[in-house]
Chain A
C-alpha cells in the first residue's frame, strides 16, 4: 500500500503546489474539513448512534449546531472562538482535549486553523462528493497547448499539470506504446511482426487500428477477466479448512466471453447479480450469478450451520458493495458505520436480498446448475437426433412383439429373493472391540474403539450358488447418537468387504470370493460403496452418520456364484482402515441364491395386473423382456438404443455443475443481527437499498425509489426490492457510485493508481480524487450510449454527435432508459487548439449501447496522456514520486499472471485455448500435502501434461489455502475475499522464482531455440532478435556489449563442461530440438534467462 506516500509531493516540493496548499483561497468542506472531522471525530461523533459520545454528532450540520446537554454548542457559525469544538481541540487540559489522547490522534496546527476559518466563514457543509450523482463537467480549455491534446482526457490532465507548473512528457516512441497497449489490453506482448507492421503503418489511424485489433483478440477477454476474478474472489476450492475442489470454471468462461463480446457493463452487472431473476432466464444468465457463489464454503465437522450460512450472505453483501459501489459495507454489520451514513439497517436491508438462497452452512454447495459447454451442447443435440431415430425404429419393432411379451410374462416364475441370515459361529475384532450376537443375529459392537479394526465373522451354510451377500449396518441405542457408526459423530467408514469360502467337506478347497459389483441404499459423497471392493484401504463407504442416523444396506455381487456341495464355511472380514475409530456399530450379514434384486423386482411387476401398471412399470417390464427374449434383430435394436442412451448419459454426466444464485419460494426472514452475531437476532428487517441514496436528509424520496418502477415484479405491490431491483438500481443513471467506481478501476488498470487512490473505498474516508472532474466526465461518458466505432471513419469533431437511444430492454426493466441519457451533453467550453480536438467516431448504423467499456479503454489508450514517455527526471521524480499528476506515463511491473504468460509467449510455448477447466502447471512437489494430508480430504496436485503446462495463468488451478506459489510471490491475492487492489512488491523471492522456477528455465530453453532458428545467422542478429522480442526495442550498443560478453563467457564454460550443457537443457517436459548444438543451445538458454529476468521484460514501460 502506498498512498501515504502521496503527500510526499507536498512534503518535498517547493513552488506552486505547496503554496496552494498553505493558503487555499477558500475553505472547502469536502476538500479541507470533512477529512479532518472524519479521521479524528466521527468515530465518537459520527453516524454510529451507539458509539456516539455526549450525544454530539458532527457529520450532520443541524446536530453540530445544536446545544448538547451541558449547554455547550460545538459549532457556532461565524464565531470560531466561542465554538466548543475549537475550544476543545485547542485546550491544554488533558482531560478536556479532543481528540482524547488515548486515541493517539492529534490535530496539526494547520488543521486547527482550517477548522477555525471554516467556522468563521459560516461552517458550510456539503454532501460527500461521491454520494452525489456525477454531472458531466465542462472540458477545461487549454490555451496555447504545448503538447498534443488527443481527447478530453488530455484536457483534464494538462489543465492540472499547467496549474502545477508542469507539462507532459514527450510522446513515447511507437514500439513503447505498442508494447504498453498490447500488455494493457491483452496481458501479452506484441510480436516482432506486429511491431514491424505498426512501425510501417503511416496512416493517420495506425494507433486506432492497433486498438481495434487488440479488442478483436480473445486474449482481451482473458486479460480483462483476470482482473475481475480478484473482485469475484474466484477459486477452484472451497477455502476453509479442508479446502476441497469446486467447479466454477464455467462461470469464468462466462466472464471471458462477456468481455470478448463487449457486453455493456450494465448488462454485465445485472446478469451477474440477478441473472436468475430475469424473465425466462437462460442457462448463461443463471450461470452468470456464480459471481456471488464464489465465496468460501466450509465442511468442518463441528461448525454450526447458521453461523456459516450467515457468513456467506455477509460475504455477498460486502463483495457486491465493494465491487459496484466502493463502499465498506462490512463495517455496518456489527454497528452503524463509523464514517459513512450507512446504518446496520442498511446492511441488513441488503443482507435480506442475498439471504434467500436455499443453502446450508456446512457443505452449502446447493443450488447448482448443469452448465453444458458449447461442445457438449452440440454433442447432446446430435445424440438426441440419433436417439430419436433409434427409438422410433425400436418402437416399431417392439409393437409387433406385444403378444410374445404376454406369453413371457405368464411363464415368468414368480421369484423373490430369499435371504438366509448368517448365524455367526466365530467372532473376532482385531482392534480388541467386543462383538455381541443379538437375537436378530446382528452383531453389536462395543468396548475398545481402535484406529484400525477388522471384524472377522465366521459362519456355515449349506447353500450353493450363492449369488449375493447382504450387509446391513443397523442403528442401536447404545451407539453414539444411535449410530449406525461407532465414531462419536455416528458415522462409520468401511474400507473393504472381504469373504473367503471354504469347503467343509474338503477344507483344502477354498476360494476368495471376488465381488464384481456392490450397491448400497445410501452412500455419502466421496464414500461410495464401490470403495469397499476396490482393494484400497485409504477409501471406503460411509453414510453421513452425523446427519442421517438410519439403517443402511449394501449388496455385494460375486463375479460368479459360489458355495461348495457338502457345506461351506464363510469367513467374512469387514475392514475399517480408512479413518480411525470409524467402525460399523451393528452389522448383520445375509446371503441369497437368487440372481439378485432384479428377479424379485420383475416378479413384483408381473404381479401387478397389466391394466393397473403405470407407465414406468410397463416400460421396465418391456425393457427386461426385450433384453432377454426378443429376436436377434430386436436385440440389436435394443442394444443400439441402450448404447445411445448410455452415450447420452456419459455426455450428460460430464456436464459441469456450477453453483448459482436462486431465491427460495418462501422468503427467509431477515433480522438485524446484534453485534453481527448469527445467533443474536434483533428486529425484523425488510430488503431495502441504503437510505442515504434513496432518502434525502429532509425525508424526501430521491430517485430512484426504494422500489424502482423498473422492476418487473409487481411494480406497485410495495414488495421489498429483490436482487434484480438492486442490480438495476446500481446501473441506473442516477446512481452516484457505480460508474465512478468502474471508471476508476479501469484507470487504475492503466496507470497503477486510480483517480481515487482508494479504489476499494469511495466513502467519506476515501482519498479525494486527484482529478475529480475527469473522474466524473469519464463516469458520465461510460453511462452515455456510444455509437460503435469504426477506426476507418474517425473524424475530428469538438463534441460527440447526439447519440441515438437504445431500445427498451427487458434486462433493464422496460423502457427505463428511454429519454434518460439521450440529452446532448452540456456544451463544452473546450477551445480546440490547432492540431488538437477530439477524435470521435462518426455515427454508425450498428447498435448503440451505453456502458460501453471499450469506449472507455479507447479514450484512455489513445489519449496523449497514455502515449507519453515513462522516462522520469530526478527533478520530476522528487516533485511527484508517485506520478499522481501524470506528467509521464506509468512504468509498472506486470501482474503475476502476465509475468508468466509473457515468458511462455516469448518462448513460443504458450498454448492458447480459451476457457475450460483449470489446469495444473509445474509446482514444487508436496506443497498441498504439507498443509493438508488428512485422510479422505487431502488433494493430490497432479501435474498436468503437454498443453496443460503452458496455458495462460488465469487457468491455473487456484487452491485457496495453498495458492499457486509463483503467482502468489508476484502479489496475486489468495482469493479468500474480494480484492480491488493488489500490492506491488519487489522481493528476492521473486528473483529466485524467475531464475529457477522450471517454468522460466524451460521457457528460456525454448526462447533460445527460437533465437537460434528464427533470429538470424550472426550473433548480433540473434541478440537483437532476442532483446527486441522481449522488450520491443533494439539493444543499445552498451547493452549489446554486455549480452555479447555474457554469451561468450557462457559458451566457453559450456564447451568446457559439455555435461553441464546437457543437464541444463533437460529442465521441463517439452522436447528439445536435438539438431541444435548442445553447448550453443545451453549458452543461448543462459542469455534467454538473463533477458527473461530483466526488469524491463517484466515491466510495461
Chain B
C-alpha cells in the first residue's frame, strides 16, 4: 500500500476559508456559531439576509427570494384545464391514430384496452385578460389572473406512474435517495427566517375521495444533512411536531427550565471546549422562539374579512387548500424559503367529468388569490409560484366514452403547468402541443428544465449547486436540464 502521509493537506482544495465561515448553524463551526448567537443577526428576515447556505450563493442576482410550489398531485388533465384544443371537437369519439400514439408505452391500466377513442374537453374554454389566454371553465379564477401567469404547455416527463413521477419532480430522480428540491434550496441558500424553518410542507386534506398517498421522501433531505428536510406544518395536533409544552408546564416554569439547561450547558462548554455545545444552546433558544412564532403564524384572527373574500370562506378551515394557500402567504411574509403545498386526488381514471370539477374548485380560487394577494403586497416580484402535477392525462378515454363516466389515463408526453412571480414573464404561454394534445409540437420543457429554471430564478446556476456524496458532485438536475429562457422576464 502506498503511504499517504498528508491527507489533510491533499484535501485542501475542497474547502475555502469562506466556506468555513459560512457554515450553517447546524454544522460544526465555532465562528458560525458566534454569528448565530449574535442577536443582531436574528433580524435576518427584516434585512433579507440569509443565514446558512453555501458560500458563493446565490451565483447571481436572484429574481425570486422564495418559492411557493402548489403541487397538484394525481395529475390534472391538461386538455380540460390549461391547454385548449378546439380541434378535438371534430375528433371526439374517433380512434387515436397510431401516427400520434407512436407506440408510447401505456400503464398497466389501459395497456389492455382495445380502443382508444379521443375525448374532447368536457367543459368549454373562454379567453381571459389582455393576453387573451384560453382557460377552461374549471379554472375561472385562474383565468382572472391570466395576465399574471405564464402557462407552460409542453412539460414532459419520463415516468408514467405516480410514485416515480412525483419523486422525479420533487427530487430529480424517479427512484428514492435524492434530496428534495426544497432541501436543495435550504442547503444552498439557507434561511431568511430567524424562528421558522427554511423549508415548510403543507398537505391539504381532501374533503372527499381517496387520494394517492404521499411519502416523506418528497420533502426529504436524501444525502444532504437531515436538517434540510422539509418541516410539515400540520393542520391537526401541534402544527410543528412537539411544539406545545406538556400539560402543567406554565410559561414561567418553561423559561426557568430552559435557562437552567442553558446555564448547565454553558458550564460544560467552558469545561470541555466543544463548540457543538454552543450550537445546541442556540438550538434550544430557537426552539423557544418557535413556540411563539408558529402559533402567531397560524393565528388568522387578525386577517381582515377581505382576506377570506379573496381566498374563500374555506380558508378559515385548517387543512383545506384555501387555508394552506393563505398560510403559504403568511409563511412567505415571515421568511420561509421554500413552501411546498400538496393538493391531491386528480387521478381520475374514471368519472373524470364528474370528479375533475370539484377537484378544480378546491384549488382554483385560493391559487389565484395567492397570486393576487402577493401582488397587492408587492411580494409577487420576489416570490416564484409554480402550479402543476406530476404528468398529464391521455386524450383518449379510459373506460366507456359514450357513458360519460369515462376517465383519462396517465400521460407523460405533454402536460401543462403555470408559473408566476419572481423572474417569470407574465401573461404568456410557452410551447405548443399537437392537435391531439398528445405530443409536444414545439419548445418542450423537461422536468429537469423546470427544476433548472426554478433554481435560476433563485439566483442559482443548477449546474453549480452540487453536493459531494460518494466522492461525486451530485446535482438536483443530475447531468441534464436547461433554463427555459423563453419564460424568463
Choose the segment among A3-11, A378-386, A683-691 that binds chain B (4+ C-beta atoms closer than 8 Å). A3-11
Contact A872 B6 (CB under 8 A): no
Residue of B203, B229, B240, B242 contacting most chain A CB atoms (<10 Å)? B242
Q: Verify B267–A30 contact, CB threshold 8 A.
A: no
Within 8 A of A (CB), among B255-272: 256-257, 260-261, 263-265, 267-269, 271-272
Whether, in the assembled complex, B226 has its beta carbon less than 8 Å from a beta carbon of chain A, the answer is yes
How far is it, in angstroms, between the C-alpha of A926 and the C-alpha of B235 when the chains are bound? 10
A21, A104, A773, A983: the one within 8 Å of B464 (CB): A104
* Contact between A974 and B272, CB atoms less than 8 A apart: no
A208 within 8 A of B: no
A1094 & B268 in contact (Cβ 8 Å cutoff): yes
Question: Is B238's CB within 8 Å of the partner chain A?
Answer: yes
Residue of B nearest to A982 (CB): B226
Q: Does B137 contact A (CB under 8 A)?
A: no
Nearest residue, chain B, Cβ from A1036: B267
Whether B351 contacts A241 by the Cβ 8 Å rule is no
A1066 nearest CB neighbor, chain B only: B247
Whether B223 and A758, one on each chain, are in contact in the complex, defined by CB atoms closer than 8 angstroms, is: no
Interface of chain A residues 219 through 256 with chain B (CB within 8 A): 239-243
CB pair B468–A1042 under 8 Å, yes or no, is: no
A980-993 vs B, CB cutoff 8 Å, 1 = contact: the mask equals 00110111111111
Q: Say yes or no: is B363 at the interface (Cβ < 8 Å to chain A).
A: no
Contact of A760 among B17, B28, B234, B470 (CB under 8 A): B470
| B269: nearest chain-A partner, CB-CB | A1095
Across the interface, B238 reaches (CB within 8 A) one of A21, A924, A1059, A1090, namely A924
Q: How large is the interface on A (under 10, 10 to 19, 20 to 34, 35 or more residues)?
A: 35 or more
CA–CA, A446 and B229, complex, Å = 49
**A989, B231: Cβ atoms under 8 Å?**
yes
Collect the chain B residues with CB atoms within 8 Å of residue A32's CB: 10
**B246–A998 contact, CB under 8 A?**
yes
| A1064: interface (CB < 8 Å) | yes
- Give the chain B neighbours of A974 by CB distance below 8 A: 176, 216-217, 220
Q: Is A874 an interface residue (CB 8 A)?
A: yes
B19-27, B331-339, B427-435, B446-454 - interface stretch: B19-27
**Do A7 and B264 touch across chains, with their CB atoms under 8 A apart?**
no
What is the CA–CA distance of A816 and B231 in the complex, to the nearest angstrom?
54
Cβ of A11 and Cβ of B15 under 8 Å apart? yes
Q: Do A1095 and B226 have beta carbons less than 8 Å apart?
A: no
Give per-residue flags for B445-478: 1 if the beta carbon is below 8 A from chain A beta carbons, else 0.
0000000000000000101100111111000000
Q: A4-B468, A28-B4, A1089-B257 are known contacts. Are A988 and B11 too (CB-CB below 8 A)?
A: no
Nearest CB of chain B from residue A22's CB, rounded to whole Å: 8
Choice from A35, A108, A882 contacting B10 with Cβ under 8 Å: A35
Contact B1 A986 (CB under 8 A): no
Q: Is A801 an interface residue (CB 8 A)?
A: no
Q: Which of A243, A770, A933 contacts B215 (CB 8 A)?
A: A243
Of A6, A481, A1036, which is within 8 A of B15 by CB? A6
Q: Assess whether B398 is interfacial by the CB under 8 Å rule.
A: yes
Measured between beta carbons, the chain B residues less than 8 angstroms from A11 are 12, 15-17, 20
Contact string against B for A residues 323-343, beta-carbon threshold 8 Å, 1 for contact and 0 otherwise: 000001001000000110000
The answer to whether A5 touches B162 (Cβ under 8 A) is: no
A1057 touching B250, Cβ below 8 Å: yes
A1067 within 8 A of B: yes
A767 contacts the other chain (CB 8 A) = yes
Taking a contact as CB atoms closer than 8 A, the residue among B5, B17, B231, B350 that contacts A488 in the complex is: B350
CB proximity to B under 8 Å, residues A864-909? 870-874, 877, 881-882, 884-885, 891, 893
> What A residues does B298 contact at CB under 8 A?
none
Decide if A799 is an interface residue (CB 8 Å cutoff).
no
Quick check: which of B76-84, B90-98, B273-281, B370-378 contacts chain A, the rest being far away?
B273-281
Instruction: Mark the stretch among B43-51, B105-113, B418-426 that contacts chain A.
Output: B105-113
Whose C-beta in chain A lies nearest to the C-beta of B106? Answer: A302
Separation of A489 and B399 alpha carbons in the complex (Å)? 9
A805 at the interface (CB under 8 A from B): no
The segment from A132-140, A146-154, A555-563 found at the interface with B is A132-140
A932 with B214: CB separation less than 8 A: yes
- Bound CA span A302–B14, Å: 45
* CB under 8 Å from chain A, chain B span 392-409: 398-399, 403-405, 407, 409
- B12 with A1064: CB separation less than 8 A: no
By a CB distance below 8 angstroms, the chain A residues around B283 are 986-988, 990-991
A997 at the interface (CB under 8 A from B): yes
Chain B residues near A990: list those with CB within 8 A.
Answer: 283
Q: Are A1093 and B261 in contact (CB under 8 A)?
A: yes
Residues of B within 8 A of A72 (CB): none
Count of B interface residues, CB-CB < 8 Å: 122
CB <8 Å contact, A243 and B3? no
Determine the distance from Cα of A305 to Cα of B111 in the docked complex, in whole angstroms: 13
Contacts of A991 in B (CB 8 A): 280, 283-284, 286-287
Complex formed: what's the CA distance from A926 to B17 in Å? 46
Q: Is the CB of B110 within 8 A of A1043?
A: no
If A163-B5, A1095-B277 touch, whether A4 touches B253 (CB-CB below 8 Å) is no
Using Cβ atoms and an 8 Å threshold, which residues of chain B touch A587?
Answer: none
With A7-B8, A8-B20, A449-B403 in contact, do A1094 and B176 touch (Cβ < 8 Å)?
Answer: no
Contacts A449-B350, A773-B3: A1067 and B112 contacting too (C-beta < 8 A)? no
* Minimum Cβ distance to chain A for residue B275 (Å): 7
Whether A241 contacts B248 by the Cβ 8 Å rule is no
Interface members, chain A 31-69 (any B CB < 8 Å): 31-32, 35, 39
Q: In the complex, what's the smallest C-beta–C-beta distance from B167 to chain A, in angstroms?
A: 9
Q: A1-B468, A986-B26, A1090-B257 are in contact. Are A489 and B14 (CB under 8 A)?
A: no
Report the minimal beta-carbon distance from A484 to chain B, rounded to whole angstroms.
14
Q: A1061 within 8 Å of B by Cβ?
A: yes
**Which A residue sits closest to B174, measured CB to CB?**
A311
In the complex the two chains form, is B280's CB within 8 Å of A1095's CB?
yes
Q: A35: shortest Cβ distance to chain B, in Å?
A: 6
Complex: A201 Cα to B387 Cα, angstroms: 69
Q: Is the CB of A1090 within 8 A of B250?
A: no
B102 at interface by CB-CB < 8 Å = no
Interface positions, chain A 1026-1051, Cβ under 8 Å from B, are 1036, 1038-1039, 1042-1043, 1045-1046, 1049-1050
- Complex alpha-carbon distance, A988 and B240, angstroms: 11
Nearest-neighbour CB distance to chain B for A78, whole angstroms, equals: 22
Within 8 A of B (CB), among A298-349: 298, 300-305, 311, 328, 331, 338-339
Residues of A within 8 A of B350 (CB): 449, 487-488, 580-581
Q: Does B253 lie within 8 Å of A997, measured CB to CB? A: no
A129 with B26, Cβ < 8 A, contacts A931-B213, A961-B215 known: no
Complexed CA–CA distance, A933 and B209 (Å): 10
Q: Chain A's nearest CB lies how many Å from the CB of B173?
A: 11
CB distance from B489 to the nearest CB of A (A): 25
Q: Which residues of the partner chain B approach A765 to less than 8 Å between Cβ atoms? A: 470-472
Q: Which residues of B contact A303 (CB under 8 A)?
A: 107-108, 161
What CA separation (Å) do A758 and B175 show in the bound complex?
23
Distance in angstroms from B228 CB to nearest chain A CB is: 9
Residues of A within 8 A of B248 (CB): 1059-1066, 1082
- With beta carbons under 8 angstroms apart, the residue of B176, B245, B257, B273 that contacts A874 is B273
Q: Does B301 make an interface contact (CB < 8 A)?
A: no
Interface, chain B (partner A; CB < 8 A): 1-17, 19-20, 23, 26-30, 105, 107-110, 112-113, 160-163, 175-177, 197, 203, 210-217, 220-221, 223-227, 229, 231-232, 234, 236-238, 240-250, 252-253, 256-257, 260-261, 263-265, 267-269, 271-277, 279-281, 283-284, 286-287, 290-291, 349-351, 398-399, 403-405, 407, 409-410, 461, 463-464, 467-472
Counting from the closest, the 3 A-B pairs by CB-CB distance are A1064-B248, A765-B471, A21-B9
- List 7 A-B residue pairs with CB atoms under 8 Å apart, sorted by A's residue number: A1-B467, A1-B469, A4-B468, A7-B11, A758-B471, A990-B283, A992-B291
Known: A581-B350, A1036-B271. 13 other contacts (CB 8 A): A3-B468, A7-B9, A311-B175, A935-B210, A971-B226, A988-B290, A989-B241, A992-B243, A995-B287, A998-B246, A1046-B256, A1067-B246, A1095-B276
